């Protein structure tokens, strides 16, 4: 199993290209199930989660062809992928596939809208919490779907003439349930109004792509989204938006090690709240023509308190990385996680590097230390594992991160991007 070896202490200087967003690419790929025409997505990141979803969509009958930009070591990235689903050949998403990646549950929306039925395995729990699917079920039922849960599967059927538009207000903000209800409602009869919808940029990206396919969606980016149902959708060409979590992660890495880095092909507007927190921690952040420049010279890291929240709040997907940064702040900071109940697995691993963190309920208290010292650590989930990489970059000596398959789910060419900026990071295959 691969591991990542980091020798800390180098500042980061250079340019890091930001990839297309994993969390936008996944729902966009799933939207290809809504049409028999070709959906072409540009700037799709080369990640384990994308490959897994390609397998899942193939199982439903989506024909997929990839045009890669072939670069370095014969690997392709920033790929353009064509998805064509002439016919849905299977409306079942089996446990073996869904259990590997929670987002694959989202196929339930398009399958139900286009075929009138879907049988999708419950995704089950995951390392960051129980993550139920009640909002999906309640929302689809509001569109008149009949839903039964049997043997670990959700069996959903639409009425004779298809789903029926309705008003539905989410009792809690959910990115995935907003994606699914929005996709399902595009082909419903009549108009759907979703209240308390997620406002994340990835929701806006999906809505824009669906509109390019012929859907009639308005209000994306606000908490009320209106979808006027249409009879069918066509193909489209769409570019996946930049990965705001990758952007924020590298910005925090620079704030941690010091240095001067340009994050290319990204946009400050995608992560205002997180960038503001990094600024308050002592880094200078400015817009460039094609991205963001992050600089930290001289001054130490200041303690900053944050609370995670749905967009436009501080993203839960950057919480672990920010904690990594705060471990070396000159003072005490507090981080409160409000989205997931168990997203602090990185605390114990950061402690192995010398961090001083104590937990009380959903709040972590971080007492900054003047130095971290490299150690063997274990990746526990995608974002937790990259927080260990960030801390390892600033720690003295060698940090060896095991179970890096978590990182491969969401960070394209991590070692290469960091090495080109002067970090000492390498992948070790046993």
Does 104 contact ligand EPZ by CB under 6 A? no
Give the residue with the Cβ less far from ligand EPZ, 125 or 190: 125
Given a contact cutoff of 8 angstroms between Cβ atoms, the answer to whether 393 and 8 are in contact is: yes
Distance (Å, rounded) from C-alpha 179 to C-alpha 363? 29
Per-residue exposure over 349-382, b if at least 16 CB sit within 10 Å of its own CB, e if not: bbebbbbebeeeebebebebeeebebbebbbbbb
Catalytic residue among 85, 126, 209, 421: 126
Q: What is the footprint of ligand EPZ within residues 25-54 (CB under 6 A)?
A: 26
Nearer to ligand EPZ, 135 or 253 (CB): 135
Q: Please report how close the Cβ of residue 26 comes to ligand EPZ at its closest, in angstroms.
A: 5
Looking only at the bridges linking them, the beta strands covering 291-296 and 92-93 are unpaired
Instruction: Report the C-alpha gap between 19 and 71 in whole angstroms.
Output: 15
Site string for ligand EPZ, 157-186 (x = CB under 6 A): ---------------x-xxxx---------
126 a catalytic residue: yes
Q: Which of 23, 40, 43, 266 binds ligand EPZ (CB under 6 A)?
A: 23
Backbone φ and ψ for 309, nearest 5 degrees, come out as -160, 160
Instruction: Name the burial class of residue 33, with classes exposed (0-12), middle (13-18) and buried (19+) by CB atoms within 10 angstroms of its CB.
Output: buried
- Among 410, 413, 415, 418, the residue binding ligand EPZ under the rule CB under 6 A is 410
CB-based closest residue to ligand EPZ: 176
Number of residues that bind ligand EPZ (CB under 6 A): 23
Q: Does 19 bind ligand EPZ (CB under 6 A)?
A: no
* Shortest CB 171 distance to ligand EPZ, Å: 9
Here the tokens at position 14 are 């250079």
**Judged by CB, which is closer to ligand EPZ: 324, or 374?**
324
Q: Is 21 in the site for ligand EPZ (CB under 6 A)?
A: no
Longest Cα separation, the chain: 67
CA distance 398 to 146: 56
Nearest to ligand EPZ of 176, 248 (CB atom): 176
CA trace torsion 232, 119, 143, 57 (10° rounding): -40
* 4 belongs to the binding site for ligand EPZ (CB under 6 A): no
* Contacts with 204 (C-beta within 8 Å, 6 or more apart), sequence order: 220, 221
Closer residue to ligand EPZ, CB minimum distance, 13 or 338 = 338
Residue 74 neighbours by CB under 8 Å, 6+ apart: none
The answer to the question of residue 133 lying near ligand EPZ (CB under 6 A) is yes
**Sole window of 126-134, 154-162, 354-362, 396-404 interacting with ligand EPZ (rule: CB under 6 A):** 126-134
CA distance 184 to 196: 17
Is there binding between residue 145 and ligand EPZ (CB under 6 A)? no
Cβ atoms of 220 and 211 closer than 8 Å: no
Q: Which of 5, 131, 239, 420 binds ligand EPZ (CB under 6 A)?
A: 131
Least gap, CB of 54 to ligand EPZ (angstroms): 15
Closer of 175 and 425 to ligand EPZ (Cβ): 175
Is 383 an interacting residue with respect to ligand EPZ (CB under 6 A)? Answer: yes
Rg for the chain (alpha carbons), in Å? 22
Which residues are tagged catalytic?
Answer: 126
Residues that bind ligand EPZ in the complex, under the rule CB under 6 A: 23, 26, 102-103, 129, 131-136, 172, 174-177, 316-317, 339-340, 382-383, 410
């Amino acid at each position: 199993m691969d591991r990542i070896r980091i020798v800390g202490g180098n500042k980061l200087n250079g340019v890091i290209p930001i990839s297309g967003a994993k969390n936008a690419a996944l729902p966009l790929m799933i939207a290809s199930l809504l049409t028999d025409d070709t959906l072409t997505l540009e700037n799709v990141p080369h990640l384990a989660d994308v490959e897994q979803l390609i397998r899942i969509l193939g199982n439903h009958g989506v024909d997929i062809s990839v045009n890669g930009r072939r670069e370095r070591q014969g690997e392709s990235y920033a790929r353009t992928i064509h998805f064509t689903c002439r016919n849905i050949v299977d409306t079942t998403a089996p446990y073996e596939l869904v259990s590997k990646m929670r987002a694959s549950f989202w196929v339930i929306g398009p399958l139900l809208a286009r075929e009138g039925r879907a049988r999708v395995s419950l995704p089950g729990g995951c390392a960051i919490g129980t993550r139920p699917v009640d909002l999906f079920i309640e929302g689809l039922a509001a569109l008149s779907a009949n839903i039964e849960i049997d043997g670990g599967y959700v069996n959903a059927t639409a009425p004779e003439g298809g789903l029926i538009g309705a008003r539905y207000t989410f009792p809690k903000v959910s990115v995935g349930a907003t994606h699914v209800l929005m996709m399902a409602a595009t082909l419903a009869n009549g108009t759907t109004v979703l209240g308390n919808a997620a406002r994340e940029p990835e929701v806006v990206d999906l809505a824009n792509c669906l509109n390019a396919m012929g859907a009639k969606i308005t209000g994306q980016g606000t908490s009320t989204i209106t979808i006027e149902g249409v009879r069918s959708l066509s193909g489209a060409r769409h570019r996946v938006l930049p990965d705001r979590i990758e952007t924020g992660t590298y910005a925090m890495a620079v704030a941690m090690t010091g240095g001067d880095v340009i994050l290319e092909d990204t946009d400050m507007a995608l992560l205002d709240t997180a960038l503001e927190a990094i600024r308050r921690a002592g880094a200078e952040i400015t817009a460039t023509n094609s991205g963001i420049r992050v600089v930290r010279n001289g001054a130490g890291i200041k303690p900053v308190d944050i609370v995670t929240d749905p967009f436009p709040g501080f993203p839960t997907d950057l919480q672990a990385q920010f904690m990594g940064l705060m471990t070396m702040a000159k003072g005490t900071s507090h981080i409160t996680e409000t989205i997931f109940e168990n997203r602090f697995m990185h605390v114990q691993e950061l402690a192995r590097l010398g961090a001083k963190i104590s937990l009380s309920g959903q709040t972590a208290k971080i007492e900054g230390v003047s130095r971290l010292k490299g150690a063997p650590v274990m990746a526990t989930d995608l974002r937790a594992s990259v927080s260990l990489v960030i801390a390892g970059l600033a720690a003295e000596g060698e940090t060896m991160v095991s179970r890096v398959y978590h990182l491969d789910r969401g960070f394209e060419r991590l070692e290469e991007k960091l090495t080109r900026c002067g970090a000492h990071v390498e992948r070790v295959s046993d």
